Structure formats: structure tokens, C-alpha cells
């Protein structure tokens, strides 16, 4: 059984690397062609950024693979001998030990991307102090919330033969609660939320929200610019915790009509109940994964040299999750890309087609997003259609000259 899992993880890694190599080759060729959506200078910059980011992904894939081999051949048995074999604290230490080692091994990649790659392309504005504070907050949340969730899972594994069903209920409930609390409890731990000061914009947003029957906890801007220069906005939360959240970078770069068009797109997701569809599809995925892992033969743990404790079972779920996620991503991506086209139609109806086009053009320019990708890469990774395809669907002519004067003239 262990050999089957190793073969599966090897195939997963090879496919990931192959897709990344194909993406690098495709963008390397595409960035030598005539620029689309971006000016020639920004087009090349965006292509260079995408290539460098993908090279890091390849390096991460190799590290992930060797880390997997470490865990199945030696790591689990070493960690179990270190933390103990029974009791809730021993199992919690096993799980958090597994998470801590993975975090330490992958941390250099995150630091490099934040302070080297993203800063060299003028995206990241994070300071070492802010990065450290964010990391410590994330670790604290993981320990506190993870400790509660893991303790519940440990209890059901040790007391129920069909533990994977109860684990699904716990994790699915956690997903729902997290979606409810994120905009009002979790996100404010990392960003300052304040009501938007533009009364005219606020009034227009409230008007379009009322038109689709959406009540919210408020309309807020956040200080996203202290970490990153890229633009974004979202509707967050479920039930009474729903919030409209606008990045301060978005408020700075887009005019009122473009913001309304972008929010119209997000309202399309709300109107089509996409968040509930997404939660449901994630629930189905989680149920299938837990059903498979929860019924793996105990000889697998023997082959890894460990006792099949609750901590080892939880760690095994996390270890194998990337394989299942990689298989699931194309399915989720296909559904999500369809939903994005439908939300664009809704946004164009609510805010005006031309304003949505101009907003998307500003987003791709400000975010330096390379507008083309290899079809295989899109198949595996894209939750949104390529922006050029979204613009074409809205009626944008991508054959026009793409120097800054033309783009800026269209955006005015």
C-alpha cells in the first residue's frame, strides 16, 4: 500500500512540474509576441514575473516531494517516538510537530517570494516587522483554533469506528463557521477596517445591494496597501456577518463607476448563490477524500513504522490532501470559470459593460497580470477565465494597439 501512495505522489509531482515547464515555455514565447491588454513594457514585465514565480513553484514541488518521502519512510516514526503513542496531548503534539516541520521547511520560499520576488516587481510593501507580526498571529490562530478542531477529531477517531464521517462533519462545520466569522473576526486581526468615507459611493453600493436583496454588516475599506500594491474587493461572510470589503488600492485606482461594476460582478456571485455552491462542492470533495483515507488498511501505518494513532491518521490526511486537491482542482476550476462568466454578465448589467471592461483593464495593468497561459495550466489551476477571454466575452476588441496612451485613453 505504501508503494502505491509513493507512486501516486510521484505522478502528482511529475505532472505538476510538467505543467509548470509547459507554462514557462508558453509564456517565454508569448512575451516575444505583440502585447495584448498591457503596454509592451508592462507585457514583458508581467511575463517575466509569471516565469520567475513558476520556477519557484517547480523548486517547491521538489521540496514537497522529498518532504513526503521523509515523512513516509522515517518522519512519522521519528515524530511518534518523540511525542508518544497515546493520550490527547501526545496526539496533538504529533500533529503540531508535523505542521511545524512543514512550516519551517517551506518558510524560505515564502520569505523569498515576499521580500525578493514581489518586492523586485514592486508588489510587496511588507516590512520584516509586519511579516513577523502576521506570521505570529497566523501561528497563534493555528494553535488555538487548530487545537480545538484537532482535539475533537482525535476524540472521534478514538471513540468511533466510522470516525471519518464524524471528522467530515467537524471539518465541514469548521468551513461554514470560518466563512461566517472571517470578515468580522479573523480579517480584522490583520487589517484595519473602516467604513468608506465617500458617501456617494456608499449610497450607490447600498442601492445596488438593495436591488438584489442583499443586507450586509457594512461597507468597509481595508489598509491592504501596507502589504501589497495589487487591487481587490470582495463580499465576505454568511448570514448577518456579510460585509462589502474594498482594498484601499482599489479605491485609489478605480473611479466610482468602475468600482460599482466590479461590485456588480461580486453581487452576481451572491445572486447566483455561488458561495453556497462552492461550499457544497468542497463538502462533497472532503467527504470523498475522508471516505478513501478513512478506509485505508492499517498495514499502511505498519509499513511506515508507526502505530495507527489518531494523530498519525490526522497527519496522513494532511500529507495526502495535495494529491486529491490536484485531481479535484480541474473540476472545481471548470465550475468556477463558468460562474465567473455569469458574474461578469451580471456585473455588466448592474454597472455597465464598458465600466466593467475598463475596471478589468485597470486590474490587469495595476496587478501586472500576464494575460495568456498554456491551456493545460488553465485546466489545472485557473479558477477564473483568462482575463483576455473575459474581456472578449464582454465585447472588448483585443486587436487594438496596446501602448499606454491608448489604454489610458480607454480607461478615462
pLDDT at 196: 84
Least confident of 210-224, 256-270, 368-382, 392-406: 392-406
CA distance 126 to 124: 6
Domain assignment of residue 118, given as a range: 2-192+268-411
Residue 364 pLDDT class (50, 70, 90 cuts): confident
- Total residue length of the chain: 412
Look at residue 217 and tell me if it is in a domain: no
CA distance 150 to 86: 15
Look at residue 355 and tell me if it is in a domain: yes
Cβ neighbors of 326 (< 8 A, separation 6 or more) are: 12, 15, 16, 380
Please state, rounded to an integer, the average pLDDT across all residues of the chain: 88
CA distance 89 to 94: 8
Look at residue 228 and tell me if it is in a domain: no
Of residues 216 and 163, the one with the higher pLDDT is 163
Which tens digit of pLDDT belongs to each residue from 238-264? 766 677 888 888 888 888 889 889 888
Of residues 182 and 170, the one with the higher pLDDT is 170
Cell 458574474 -> residue: 343
pLDDT at 317: 93
Percentage of the chain lying above the pLDDT 70 cut: 95
User: Residue 411: pLDDT above 50?
Assistant: no
* Strand intervals (E) in 104-210: 193-195
CA distance 222 to 243: 12
Residue 53 pLDDT class (50, 70, 90 cuts): very high
- Sign of CA pseudo-dihedral 106, 109, 112, 118: negative
Look at residue 281 and tell me if it is in a domain: yes
User: Residue 404: pLDDT above 80?
Assistant: no
pLDDT at 401: 52
- pTM for the whole thing? 0.84
Look at residue 246 and tell me if it is in a domain: no
Taking each helix axis from N to C terminus, what angle separates 163-181 and 274-293, rounded to the nearest 10 degrees?
150
CA gyration radius, the chain: 23
CA distance 57 to 69: 18
User: Residue 165: pLDDT above 90?
Assistant: yes
Of residues 359 and 239, the one with the higher pLDDT is 359
CA distance 89 to 225: 41
pLDDT at 368: 83
Which tens digit of pLDDT belongs to each residue from 77-132? 999 998 887 889 999 999 999 999 999 999 999 999 999 998 888 888 889 999 99
Q: Are 261 and 285 in contact (CB under 8 A)?
A: no
Counting the structural domains of the chain, the total is 1
Look at residue 395 and tell me if it is in a domain: yes
Look at residue 263 and tell me if it is in a domain: no
Which tens digit of pLDDT belongs to each residue from 272-306? 888 888 889 999 999 999 999 988 888 899 999 99
CA distance 193 to 234: 13
Look at residue 236 and tell me if it is in a domain: no
Amino acid at each position: 500500500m505504501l508503494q502505491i501512495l509513493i507512486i501516486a505522489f510521484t505522478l502528482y509531482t511529475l505532472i505538476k512540474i510538467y505543467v509548470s515547464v509547459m507554462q514557462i515555455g508558453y509564456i517565454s514565447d508569448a512575451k516575444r509576441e505583440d502585447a495584448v491588454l498591457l503596454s509592451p513594457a508592462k507585457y514583458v514585465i508581467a511575463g517575466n514575473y509569471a516565469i520567475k514565480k513558476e520556477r519557484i513553484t517547480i523548486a517547491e514541488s521538489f521540496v514537497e516531494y522529498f518532504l513526503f518521502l521523509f515523512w513516509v519512510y522515517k518522519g512519522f516514526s521519528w515524530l511518534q517516538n518523540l511525542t508518544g503513542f497515546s493520550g490527547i496531548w501526545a496526539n496533538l503534539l504529533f500533529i503540531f510537530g508535523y505542521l511545524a516541520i512543514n512550516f519551517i521547511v517551506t518558510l524560505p520560499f515564502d520569505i523569498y517570494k515576499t521580500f525578493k520576488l514581489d518586492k523586485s516587481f514592486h508588489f510587496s510593501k511588507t516590512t520584516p516587522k509586519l511579516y513577523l507580526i502576521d506570521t505570529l498571529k497566523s501561528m497563534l490562530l493555528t494553535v488555538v483554533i487548530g487545537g480545538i478542531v484537532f482535539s475533537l477529531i482525535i476524540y472521534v477517531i478514538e471513540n468511533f469506528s466510522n470516525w471519518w464521517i464524524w471528522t467530515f462533519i467537524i471539518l465541514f462545520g469548521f468551513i461554514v463557521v470560518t466563512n461566517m466569522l472571517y470578515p468580522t473576526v479573523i480579517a480584522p486581526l490583520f487589517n484595519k477596517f473602516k467604513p468608506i468615507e465617500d458617501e456617494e459611493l456608499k449610497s450607490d453600493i447600498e442601492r445596488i445591494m438593495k436591488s438584489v436583496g442583499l443586507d450586509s454588516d457594512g461597507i468597509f475599506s481595508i489598509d491592504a496597501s501596507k502589504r501589497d500594491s495589487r487591487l481587490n474587493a470582495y463580499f465576505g461572510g454568511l448570514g448577518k456577518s456579510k460585509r462589502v470589503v474594498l482594498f484601499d488600492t482599489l479605491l485609489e485606482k478605480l473611479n466610482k463607476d468602475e468600482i460599482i461594476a466590479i461590485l456588480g460582478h461580486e453581487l452576481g456571485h451572491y445572486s447566483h448563490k455561488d458561495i453556497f455552491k462552492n461550499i457544497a462542492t468542497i463538502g462533497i470533495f472532503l467527504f470523498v477524500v475522508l471516505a478513501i483515507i478513512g478506509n485505508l488498511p492499517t498495514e499502511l501505518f505498519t509499513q511506515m513504522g508507526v502505530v495507527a494513532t489518531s494523530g498519525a491518521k490526522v497527519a496522513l490526511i494532511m500529507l495526502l490532501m495535495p494529491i486529491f486537491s490536484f485531481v479535484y482542482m480541474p473540476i472545481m476550476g471548470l465550475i468556477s470559470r463558468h460562474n465567473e462568466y455569469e458574474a461578469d454578465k451580471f456585473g455588466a448589467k448592474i454597472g455597465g459593460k464598458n465600466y466593467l471592461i475598463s475596471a478589468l483593464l485597470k486590474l490587469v495593468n495595476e496587478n501586472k497580470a500576464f494575460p495568456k497561459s498554456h491551456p493545460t495550466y488553465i485546466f489545472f489551476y485557473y479558477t477564473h477565465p483568462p482575463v483576455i477571454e473575459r474581456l472578449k466575452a464582454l465585447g472588448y476588441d483585443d486587436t487594438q494597439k496596446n501602448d499606454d496612451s491608448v489604454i489610458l485613453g480607454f480607461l478615462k
